[in-house]
A = this chain, B = another copy of it.
Amino acid sequence: MTNAGFNPIRSVTATDENGQVSTVQVASEISLTLLMNEEKIVTLMTLGTHPKALAIGYLRNQRLIKEMPEIQSIHVNWENGTIQVNTFAGEKTRRAVTAGCGQGVVLSLNQLHDIHRLKLNIQQTLIDALLHTLTQQNEIHRQAGGVHSCALCQGSEIIAFVEDVGRHNAVDTIAGLMWLHNWPGDNKIFYTTGRLTSEMVMKVANLGISVLLSRSGVTYKGIQNAQEIGMTLIAHAKGQQFLIFSGEKNVVFDG
């Protein structure tokens, strides 16, 4: 996993409402074309800090790769902006791939892990502690804005923290890191700054994670899906406040 000397933050000049010019930091955004067995799959616009995890997680969440041992090699070429994943089977993909932002839904409920049985409890004090720690972490957002972040948490520990220009890229990168490090999902909590749409719920369930926490809002279908698969869904989580929309029995009020 290399950042390849890539700087995710750039300085630019901007003019404010009084006509004053100043230097402002903004998030980078690079174009990375993902190829699998030499076939072009998708061009991702990304911050570029975790190219391999992003590529692996994208292929995992698109169900183009079923498990990590299928992958033979992975190579990033920053010169031409490509990332090449080869599988042992060497198969070409057989279907169009679409993704992200409610535009091109791939996962469906009946394909998902059964996370009903997990019933991971989460304490109110743990949520408070996580939200406090997470606030300190969003470095690129604080410096440059224009990014979403996701975190993978175990107890009060943040195992992985990823920022990207697209909220789906951040989720996919966490999915890739989980495979790369062989981390199970059943004892994890997933945090995102993004909204809890149905796609977000399904992607997280696909990782075998049963607790999903967001700083933002939630959609009705997101709630319906979470209830159906037994996910604990907590939105508007900021400071010491939150709202539980599904799985309230799994939250322990110890505050």
User: Taking each of A18, A44, A96, which has the highest tally of chain B beta carbons within 10 Å of its own beta carbon?
Assistant: A96
Query: Is A159's CB within 8 Å of the partner chain B?
Result: no
Establish whether residues B104 and A26, one from each chain, have CB atoms under 8 Å apart when the complex forms: no
Is A72 part of the binding interface, using a Cβ–Cβ cutoff of 8 Å? no
Measured between C-beta atoms, what is the minimum distance from A153 to chain B in Å?
A: 18
Q: Is A223 among interface residues, defined by CB-CB distance under 8 A?
A: yes
Instruction: Determine how many copies of this chain the complex contains.
Output: 2
Q: Which of A84-92, A114-122, A237-245 contacts B (4 or more CB under 8 A)?
A: A237-245
Are A14 and B199 touching (Cβ within 8 A)?
Answer: no
Query: Complex formed: what's the CA distance from A12 to B180 in Å?
Result: 38
A241 and chain B: residue at smallest CB distance = B17
Q: Are A220 and B26 in contact (CB under 8 A)?
A: yes
* Given A146-B195, A217-B26, A253-B19: A103 touches B168 (CB 8 Å cut-off): yes
Interface members, chain A 4-20 (any B CB < 8 Å): 10, 12, 14-19
Please tell me if the beta carbons of B44 and A103 are within 8 angstroms of each other in the complex: yes
Residue of B nearest to A58 (CB): B103
- Contact sample, A vs B, 19 pairs, CB 8 Å cutoff: A14-B243, A17-B124, A17-B240, A26-B218, A26-B219, A27-B217, A29-B198, A29-B221, A30-B221, A43-B104, A45-B102, A45-B197, A45-B221, A58-B103, A96-B96, A99-B104, A100-B103, A144-B217, A146-B197
Residues of A within 8 A of B (CB): 10, 12, 14-19, 24, 26-31, 42-46, 58, 96-105, 124, 127, 144-147, 164-169, 195-199, 216-223, 236, 240-245, 248, 251, 253, 255
